[in-house]
């Protein structure tokens, strides 16, 4: 392996709180990029030196050498920056699927999301922008929130609010000319999810894909009866288990092309594998707010 990220779901798997677990004993890591070291005599289409990613992703990317069936590996363009190749599957692909699978969005529509500084959130902003879709973004109140706002605006965010800025009666009054959002993405839960429901247009849909605050979602009765909101969930692993392996690979090639062209970027920090303890502590939030940790082997 060349590089692999530490994602929240990797931590959840190790904690034993993720709904699926690899057979034990197991090595951590679910996505990443590797270089072919050696191939079996029957393998065609791959040679030593090629770059590959496990697609659909599979367990055990936090190690230097991995032996798996040829069908696991997807050969990618070696001109791709290594850190993007390592991280493209879980978060950028989730952003792409969520933008396409729930509401038929058209240019000029608006989406709203919390957890906008997450990798998924950063990808949602840029992929939406590519299709002329506005984004309203909610981030948590924390040190550095002004800088975070400026970074998201540079990626193409139309509006960025901290949760405390939205403690007003009429949040929709803050939107100016942007149309009310038809679709919302909830990464956080708790109050941040309630804010999405407040922004959504009549008949809108909120898709929950993460629970970073570990707080439940509270929905008012009127949100269902009078506003007719729909609440759904998204889980990439379920989507990929439904016969989507080939489709998944063409989407990954599309996303990696955007990364190579500089149209899709996100924040990460490369960490040497020798110091994985520090990277794990950072990924678990024990050292204050940190960018996505990408282990380099
Ligand atoms: N359902 C699926 O298929 C699927 C797929 C991909 C990802 N996910 C989930 O999506 C979420 C984001 O993943 P990621 O890898 O993109 O995240 P990430 O880049 O590691 O970023 C973490 C995000 O969570 C926020 N955050 C952290 N602790 C928080 C707290 N206590 N309260 C509120 N916000 C908090 C961070 O905000 P700050 O910037 O303020 O620190 C940041 O926006 C995770 O829950 C992950 O499991 C789900």
**pLDDT tens column, 99-131:** 999 999 999 999 999 999 999 999 999 999 999
CA atoms within 13 A on the CB side of 213: 19
Average pLDDT, integer, range 285-290: 90
The segment(s) of the chain belonging to CATH 3.40.50.720 are: 103-233
Q: Do 29 and 7 meet the contact criterion of CB atoms below 8 Å apart? A: no
State the architecture of 103-233 in CATH terms.
Answer: 3-Layer(aba) Sandwich (3.40)
The segment(s) of the chain belonging to CATH 3.90.180.10 are: 3-89+240-296
- pLDDT, residue 146, reads 96
Task: Provide the β-strand partners of residue 208.
Answer: 186, 233
Query: Among residues 33, 37, 54, which one has the least CA distance to residue 46?
Result: 37
- pLDDT of 161 above 80: yes
Q: Do 81 and 256 meet the contact criterion of CB atoms below 8 Å apart? A: no
Question: Tokens in use for 91?
Answer: 């978060």
Is the C-beta atom of 89 inside 6 A of ligand 1?
no
Is the C-beta atom of 149 inside 6 A of ligand 1?
no
CA 146, 149, 151, 153 torsion-angle sign: negative
Is the C-beta atom of 234 inside 6 A of ligand 1?
yes
Ligand 1 centre to CA of 210 (Å) is 7
**pLDDT tens column, 137-152:** 999 999 999 999 999 9
Q: Is 110 left (phi over 0), alpha (psi -120 to 50) or beta?
A: beta
Ligand 1 centre to CA of 212 (Å) is 5
Q: pTM for the full model?
A: 0.97
Specify the fold of 3-89+240-296. Answer: Quinone Oxidoreductase; Chain A, domain 1 (3.90.180)
Query: Among residues 6, 291, 266, which one has the least CA distance to residue 124?
Result: 266
- The answer to whether residue 65 is catalytic is no
């Amino acid at each position: 392996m060349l590089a692999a990220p530490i994602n929240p779901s990797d931590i959840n798997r190790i904690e034993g709180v993720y709904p699926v677990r690899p057979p034990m004993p197991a090595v951590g890591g679910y996505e990443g990029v590797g270089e072919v070291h050696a191939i079996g005599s029957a393998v065609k289409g791959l040679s030593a030196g090629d770059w590959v990613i496990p697609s659909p992703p599979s367990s055990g990317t936090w190690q230097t050498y991995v032996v798996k069936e040829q069908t696991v590996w997807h050969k990618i363009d070696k001109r791709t920056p290594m850190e993007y190749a390592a991280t493209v599957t879980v978060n950028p692909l989730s952003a792409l699927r969520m933008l396409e699978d729930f509401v038929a969005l058209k240019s000029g529509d608006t989406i709203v999301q919390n957890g906008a500084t997450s990798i998924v959130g950063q990808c949602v902003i840029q992929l939406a922008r590519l299709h002329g879709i506005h984004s309203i973004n909610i981030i948590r109140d924390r040190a550095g929130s002004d800088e975070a706002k400026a970074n998201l605006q540079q990626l193409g965010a139309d509006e960025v609010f901290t949760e405390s800025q939205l403690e007003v009666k009429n949040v929709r009054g803050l939107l100016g000319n942007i149309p009310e959002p038809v679709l919302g993405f909830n990464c956080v839960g708790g109050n941040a999810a309630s804010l999405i429901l407040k922004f959504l247009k009549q008949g809108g849909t909120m898709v929950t894909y993460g629970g970073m605050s570990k707080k439940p979602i509270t929905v008012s009765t009127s949100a269902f009866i009078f506003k007719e909101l729909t609440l759904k969930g998204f889980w990439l692993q379920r989507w990929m288990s439904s016969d989507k392996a080939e489709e998944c690979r063409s989407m990954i090639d599309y996303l990696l092309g955007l990364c190579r062209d500089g149209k899709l970027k996100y924040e990460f920090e490369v960490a040497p594998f020798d110091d994985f303890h520090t990277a794990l502590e950072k990924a678990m939030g024990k050292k204050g707010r940190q960018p996505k940790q990408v282990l380099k082997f």
